Every structure is written in structure tokens, then in C-alpha cells.
Copies of this chain bind each other. A is one copy, B any other.
Amino acid sequence: MPEWLYGRHAVEEVLRAGRRKVFRVLLAEAGQESKSGRGERLVEIEELAKRAGAQIERVPAARLDALTRVGHHHQGVAAEVTPFKYATLAETVQLCREAGSHALVLILDSLQDPQNFGTLLRSSEAAGVTAIVMLDRRQVEVTPAVANASAGAVEHLQICLANNLPRAIQELQEASLWVYALQAEPDAVLYTQADLRGPLGLVVGSEGKGVGRLVRERCDGALQIPMLGKIESLNAAVAGSIVLYEALRQRTDDSR
């Protein structure tokens, strides 16, 4: 079943990555390209779409409004594409073995909010993660809304759906990853005091409930982020991004 991606970044990156087949690209007619947008970006997308062999149609903006849901900003562009293709756990473990000490895997335990999910994927791609592993049920999937919130980052990521998260973590550990849960708890280590160099997995839990008990028990330890104010926790996507970038800092800091 094809699906409709929308938004300039999402459509541009699906064309650049070339992993999904792009059947059709719909562009808003001149003058209806959404006031927030930049005209040159649509021209660039049209060029990429041509090279990808996609059918290109200029349509009234109202047609794009009807394709996407209320509150989802298409910015004058949508693309009909094949569904997102997930990686298998075996492929993911293999990628980690190839990455060696650079392996960096984000593991998502029941993240619920598509906006948070997309934001965290965007950070993951920027921080150079090897792969994402997530549960194949009770969780957001890579929908068009997620592709949009990720600014198209999903198109460049390896994302694996696991049917048993503790077992998947075990397989990653057998491939030499040290796996931390991001979770405030009495034994948690400050994230800046942990050694995040070497093959690493980081588990981010759901917005309300954190990391599940069975998943936590399978991890090698827990990390926490200092909270200096009165609020209990950070936004889940922000927390995950901060630790991913701390890992990147430690890995690239020559002075250590």
C-alpha cells in the first residue's frame, strides 16, 4: 500500500535517499506554495523528482490540504511512495559488528508521541547513530507524520522493529554493545560521568512511564541527566538527544 508523504524536507529526503519508490509528486500551483515556504525549494524538489522518474503534477493547494490531515503542514508538496522498509534485527546486529567501536544504537521502549519520535530520529541521524531498535507493537511507527517531524531523517536511518526488546538488547550485548537505560533511579550514573565511548546502546522510555521493568533489568546500567529546577523530567526526545550528543562529544574529544 503506497502512502502520502508531505512537507518539503520529508519529500526532498525521500527523493535524495532513493530507498523508497516515488510514484507521484504533487506540487502546489504557482502562488499557492504556502507563504512560509521558499519557492526555490519546490524547484529543487521538482528537479529531484524528475531524475527519480516520478510523475509530477501541479495541483491546487486544496488538493494537498485534502490529502494530509488537519494541522499537518504540507508546505505545498506531497509524494506518493512505497511504505517505509524496516531493517531486521539480524541486519542491525551485523551493522553494529561492522561499526565496531563506533556502534551507537538508540533503543525506543514504547515512545508514544509521533512528534517526539520524529524529533528523536532527526537528532539520531545528525549524531550519526548506526541504527534504531524499537518494539513492533504499542508504539508509534514510521508514519508520514513521523517522517515529517524528522525533517526527512527517517529516509537515511536503519530502523529495526523487534518483537521482544529484552531479547534484542541481549543480541546487541552479544555484539559487544554496552546498553544503558536513560532513567532517573537511585543507582543511575550522571550521563556525563559514564564512559560513552565504544559500542553503545541507549534505551529511551515512554513519555509518562519511562523504561519498562524487563527492559531495564536487561540493561547494563542506568544514566540520568541532572535536573536543577523543580520539574521532574525533560521531554523524552530532548533527553535522548542530549545523551546521544554527549556520546558524540566523548567519541570525538581528542583531549580525553
* Stoichiometry (number of copies): 2
Bound-complex Cα distance A252 to B71 (A): 42
Known contacts A36-B208, A225-B245; is A235 also within 8 Å of B13 by CB?
no
Contact stretch, chosen from A20-28, A44-52, A85-93, A149-157: A149-157
B residues within 8 A CB of A97? Answer: none
Bound-complex Cα distance A192 to B192 (A): 13
Check A227 against B126 for contact (C-beta < 8 Å). yes
Least CB distance from A220 to B in Å reads 22
Least CB distance from A121 to B in Å reads 10
Show the binding face of A for B, using Cβ within 8 Å.
9, 13, 16-17, 36, 71, 115, 119, 122-123, 125-128, 151-153, 156, 192, 208, 225-235, 237-238, 241-242, 245-246, 248-249, 252-253
Given contacts A156-B229, A238-B238, 14 further A-B contacts (CB under 8 A): A9-B231, A115-B115, A122-B231, A125-B229, A125-B230, A126-B227, A126-B228, A127-B228, A128-B229, A151-B232, A151-B233, A156-B230, A238-B241, A242-B245
